[in-house]
Amino acid sequence: MTAGLVLLVVVGALFVVPSNEYIFLPDRAHPVGPLVFVAGGKDPAGPGGIYFVDVIVRKATLLERLFGGLHTGADLEAPDNVVPPGITNAQNDQLSFEEMRTSQQIAGAVALRSLGYKVKAVGNGARVDSIEPGLPAEGKLEPTDVIVAVDGKAVTSPISLTKAMHGRPAGQTVRFTIHRGSKTLTVSIRTVAASHTSKRAVVGIYVEQAESIHLPIRVSIDAGNVGGPSAGLAFALDVLEKLGHNVDHGNKIAATGEIFLNGAVGPIGGIKQKTYGAREAGVDAFLVPAGQNATDAKRYAHGLRIIPVKSFQQALHALATLPVKSSAA
């Protein structure tokens, strides 16, 4: 009896106790339409629609860790592949939601620019993306901090940050003015040499462009608790749909890809799970970033039409060549 009880407890623990690894699971593709609002726009009538795909990411249970094949389309990932070294889970979540917020703004800008609207985008700093463990910025700067000045000299972009740091000797203390949420702070950090063979002074951060984007038409997107930039292409396509442009031609179109202000479409993670999610939703075609993403998506397509794209305009052209589906089809 005691041995049986112990076995039952052990088996139960395998089902519920989390391991150190993460599991990536497919999630059925979702319609974008209900998430997007465009002033003066409306939901298109008829069949079809734009769908976005995401990935369910959580800690794997001990059982899932031991038998990774328990879920169709799932993958196990080491912690460092999910939460970059040097940041906490909470900081990683905040960074992911900041990336989603930025991708929404860029999606609106790219869509409106494609229709001839003038969009104003102003660089307003260098956003901290990640921090190198063990280097001086650790514990002083945080992901999503926006650096706006170095020793009082304005910083509007990663390039201007590089220029502001150029020529400084290792060991010098630098004052970074940052925006952290609604606060403006000054943080002093002592630099170190980039390597044993380099005298370039660094503090150990990776940054990306921080921008203020002003749209001539109000565009708002509510993605709930979905983070990351990979829904940008889908959002941009749906903005056009809301403004009366039938980009799907009656087809159900799933799309994934980070979108940039110049209209370029960049690679994303979790393409295997996203392809499974697109298949489960029964879409007619799946737009994915060209390159390795497209190669991997085709591996798991199982008959789903995969359309590789490098830009928003290329995505529009590809959709325009699809057979038109009517509501009677």
Which among 53-57, 88-92, 188-192 has the top mean pLDDT? 188-192
pLDDT at 329: 44
Q: Are 240 and 247 in contact (CB under 8 A)?
A: yes
Tokens linked to 128:
């901290």
Which residue(s) pair with 264 in the sheet?
311
In the chain, domain spans: 24-113+216-320, 120-212
Percent of the chain topping pLDDT 70: 91
pLDDT at 3: 54
DSSP output for 51-105: EE--EEEEEEEHHHHH-GGGSTT-EEE-GGGTS-TTS-HHHHHHHHHHHHHHHHH
Q: What is the mean pLDDT of the chain?
A: 88
SS3 content of the chain, % helix, strand, coil (to 5): 30, 35, 35
204 — pLDDT class (breaks 50, 70, 90): very high
CATH among 3.50.50.60, 3.30.420.40, 3.40.50.720, 2.30.42.10 for 120-212:
2.30.42.10
Those residues whose C-beta lies under 8 Å from the C-beta of residue 263, and which sit 6 or more positions away, are 110, 113, 114, 311, 312, 313
217-253 pLDDT, tens digit per residue, is: 999 988 777 777 888 999 999 999 999 999 999 999 9
Same fold, 24-113+216-320 and 120-212: no
Mean per-residue pLDDT, 190-200: 89
284-299 pLDDT, tens digit per residue, is: 999 999 999 999 999 9
pLDDT at 199: 83
Q: Which fold has domain 24-113+216-320?
A: Ribosomal Protein S5; domain 2 (3.30.230)
Mean per-residue pLDDT, 103-107: 89
7 — pLDDT class (breaks 50, 70, 90): very low
CA distance 258 to 233: 6
Q: Are 124 and 148 in contact (CB under 8 A)?
A: yes
pLDDT at 97: 78
Q: Which of 31, 2, 56 is nearest to 254 (CA)?
A: 31
Q: Is 262 helix (H, G, I), strand (E, B) or coil?
A: coil
Mean per-residue pLDDT, 120-147: 92
Tokens linked to 220:
């708002």
